[in-house]
Structures are given as structure tokens and as C-alpha cells.
Amino acid sequence: MAFPYLEAVVGFMILMYIFESYLDVRQHAAHKLPTLPKPLVGVISQEKFEKSRAYSLDKSYFHFIHEFVTILMDSSILYFRILPWFWQRSGEFLVYLGLNAENEIFHTLSFLAGVMVWSQITDLPFSLYSTFVIEARHGFNKQTVWLYFRDMIKGIALSIVIGPPIVAAIIVIVQKGGPYLAIYLWGFMLILSLVMMTIYPVLIAPLFNKFTPLPQGELRLKIENLASSLKFPLKKLFVVDGSTRSSHSNAYMYGFFKNKRIVLYDTLIQQCKNDEEIVAVIAHELGHWKLNHTMYSFIAVQILTFLQFGGYTLVRNSKDLFQSFGFDTQPVLIGLIIFQHTVIPLQHLVSFGLNLVSRAFEFQADAFAKKLGYAAPLRAGLVKLQEENLSAMNTDPWYSAYHYSHPPLVERLAAIDESDKKTE
């Protein structure tokens, strides 16, 4: 008797939903707490705390509904074998268009087009409500309906342009890969990720946001001096118009080798009236670079990608696996989808482990900025970002341990306040 892969996958999905819902309930209870955590009393204003609490509770209620609908749809699609039905219909659609349904690349693209339409339709109500009700209610949404749909259309257009060549390449590699398939797939994805990391900030990101050089002045000079002191090869310093869509704030850096760029959200500049706070945030980001966190993360992702493809090559010809999910044939894309579902337990463990590492990296980057003499402005900057973004002030320890890639503010401030010898 064949192993019931489908039932096992759906069963685990539901178990994980129950477990994560339990964590969500714990976090919801933390959001309801009427007082600030003791370390934040006198640091965060009561007004900001009340706004943060209301925002967190709104998002939490919405999250419960969204997750329930998602697990209901995802488990139903698998259990009632809608995937194979959809695969068959996509082939019939090709025949209707007069195309060859036996061509796996055409068939896969037809299937993906249908999936894209379905996901857009089902996700749209939630996305609209989140953006134009919750985010707007709490003063974050700045975009118009026209801008929202224009971004969505641009995203779909990019998928149509970029997606087919990538899908076709993956199918050909799997069909021709032979015993070294995992290596070929990993190599292709490595090259693809490097290409996308190169072209995204130059060609894709400007389609959605306007990037302008940071004007000459004290802030620019301070950032350039900091980068120079650390031998950071800063080539360009941009401000991005994040305020056209949201009043949330951030800063990031990107680029290879000697061609690094730093991007500041205009909202960050508006919210941090003190230049030193912004420079401290940049010092934290430069800490990630100096301590090779980005490189370590990239290498970890490559190792995990290779292991995933290695696992896929072991099961891609498993007739029992495909039949359990209702497929008589073994299409490449379907094999990848099924494999992703079968390794969900491992993915959850890996995600938990990566979050642990990420939180450790954040503490190290904070400590790096502190060693540079930015302890006070970094502390003030973190508080300002927490306040302005209305981030949750009270967090459940179980929830944050499982979900958070960044430590809660209370923990970060405590680490910054520790003696120098403890932050080394």
C-alpha cells in the first residue's frame, strides 16, 4: 500500500495552522495589555503606545481571518485534488487556442497563468482591506487606488516578461539534467539570483519608486565620512519616495563588491529630525556589512537551495507521490510544488533556525554601531522607528521567538545599555 503523502501533507498543514494560531492568540493577548513594558515606561509616550496598541490589535484581528481563509483554501485545493483538475483544464485551454498541449513548457505556462489569475482574485480583497482600511485608518497608507492598481499591473507585467524564460529553463534543465541535476538547478538559481540582485535596483525598483541622490549637506557628509572610515565602497546615496505609498520608514544597502549603494526612505529623514539618529541607523546597517552577515546569509541560502534541489531529485520520479496528489503524469513544475509541500516540516524548522541567527546578527550590528560611538543616537533612533511605525510594544516571548527575525525593542535597548565588555 502506497504511503498517503497527500493526507500527511494536509494533516501537517492543519497542525501547523493550529500551532501558529495558538501563538497568534498569545500575541493577541500581549497586544491587549493596557500598559507599556517596564523598560519602555518614560521612553515611549502613552499616546504612541495607545496608537500602537490599536494598530496591532487591528492587524491581529485581520490576521486571524486571513489565515483561516488561507488554510481553508490551501488544504481544500490539495485534498479535493483541484490541482490535477486545474492542470487538465489548462491543457484543454491550450487545445482551444490551437496550441500543442503535449509541450510541457506551454502547458506549464498555461497552468501558471491560471494560478496567477486565481491568486490575484483571491488575494485582492485582503490586500485592499489591509491597505485602504487598516493602514489608512492608522495614518500609514498614502497611495491612491489608481497607484495601487498601477503597481499591481506593473507587477503582473513583470511576471509575464520574466517568468516564462525562467520556467522554460528550469523545465529543460530537469529534463536534460541527468545525475547532476541538483548541481545544474542550483547553478542556474545562483546565476539567476545574482542577475536579479544586479538588475532589480537599476531596472525594476525604479518602475515603482523614484530614487534621487541625497542632497549635499550635513547628513550626506556624515554618512560619507562614516562609510569612508569603515572603508565601505559607497558609490551612490539615494533617497526613495516611500512616502508616496506609506509612512512606514526604513533604510537599506545593496550592490556587489566595490559598487555599494545606500538607500534612505524619505519618511526616515522626515521622522528622525536629528541627523545623528539616521547616521546611527546606517552604522547598524554597515555593521551587517563589516561583520559579513550578508555574505553568511547568502551562503546559507545557497546551501539550503542546493539541499532542496538534492531532495527534489530523489522524489521527482516517484510515481506514488504524484498519484497521491491526483496526477497520472509527472510534470516538472508539479513535482516541484508537491516536493515543497512534502518538506514543509523541515522548512518550518529551517525558518526558525534562520530567525535565531538573524536576531543574533541584529544584536551584533547594534553592538558594532555602539562601538563606533553611536549608542545614544542608535537608542533614540530605534525608539523613534518603533514609535513612528507603531510597532508592537508588548510581545509574547513564544511568538517572538518563533516569528521575529529582529529582536523586540525592549531586548535591543537592554543590549545597548549593557557595559561595553558585554557587547564585544
Asked if residue 293 belongs to a known ligand binding site, the reply is: no
Answer yes or no: is 288 a known binding residue: yes
Ligand-binding site membership of 138 (annotated)? no
Question: Of 361, 365, 219, 339, which is closest to residue 283 (Cα–Cα)?
Answer: 365
Catalytic residue among 135, 285, 387, 388: 285
| From 135, 276, 277, 366, active-site residue | 366
Whether 285 is catalytic = yes
Q: Which residues are annotated as a binding site?
A: 284, 288, 362
Q: Which residues are annotated as a binding site for Zn(2+)?
A: 284, 288, 362
List active site positions.
Answer: 285, 366
